[in-house]
Amino acid sequence: MSSTTSSFPERIELTGKGLVLRDWTEADLEAMPELFDHPDIAYWTPIVSPFDEAAARARLDRDRRLRAEGTTLLLAITVDGGAPLGEVMLRRAPEGMEIGYAVGPAHRGQGLAARAVQVMAAYAFEELGAEQVILELESENAASVAVATKTGFRLLDVPLITGEEKGRPYALQTWALDRP
């Protein structure tokens, strides 16, 4: 998958597919609860709920720490570098380079997640030398399955990743996209 473990850049901005994926900033703290404090996000993602101003501050601090450690990159999804509409993640995991995403409820239906996944996958392939990127998602999450299929990922024939989070069991499928 990827053998590189170098740090991510201190600052980053990725463009493509009509999007600008950029660093989260202090100015975004006020907008984050509107994006992440929603039952769908609470149910399908590990993002804390309720998601308030304190959770936004903790997420920004965690984002900066994980980036400095070289394990995770969290970027705001925007169309012009301005207001955040969601988030896309790239994480170096034992399973490989994993992408995750969340789009604020008011911004769904615009293809933001699929386009952000495409831009982040291109970054992983072109800049980080990844041979494959993966998505881990629940088969019942129709919106995420649609993103996976729309962006060319294929379902791998590997064991489900099972566990419990926020008091509910989950079973994640692994989807993969190989370097073009």
CA distance 55 to 158: 34
pLDDT value of residue 6: 64
Instruction: Give the model confidence (pLDDT) of 105-153 as tens digits.
Output: 999 999 999 999 999 999 999 999 999 999 999 999 999 999 999 999 9
Q: Whats the size of the chain, residue-wise? A: 180
Say if residues 2 and 92 touch (Cβ distance below 8 Å). yes
CA distance 180 to 178: 6
Residues 21-31: b if buried by 16+ CB within 10 A, e if exposed: bbbbeeebbeb
Asked whether residue 5 carries a pLDDT value surpassing 70, the answer given is: no
pLDDT value of residue 2: 39
Instruction: Give the model confidence (pLDDT) of 86-117 as tens digits.
Output: 999 999 988 789 999 999 999 999 999 999 99
pLDDT value of residue 96: 83
pTM of the model: 0.94
pLDDT value of residue 4: 43
Mean pLDDT estimate for the chain: 94
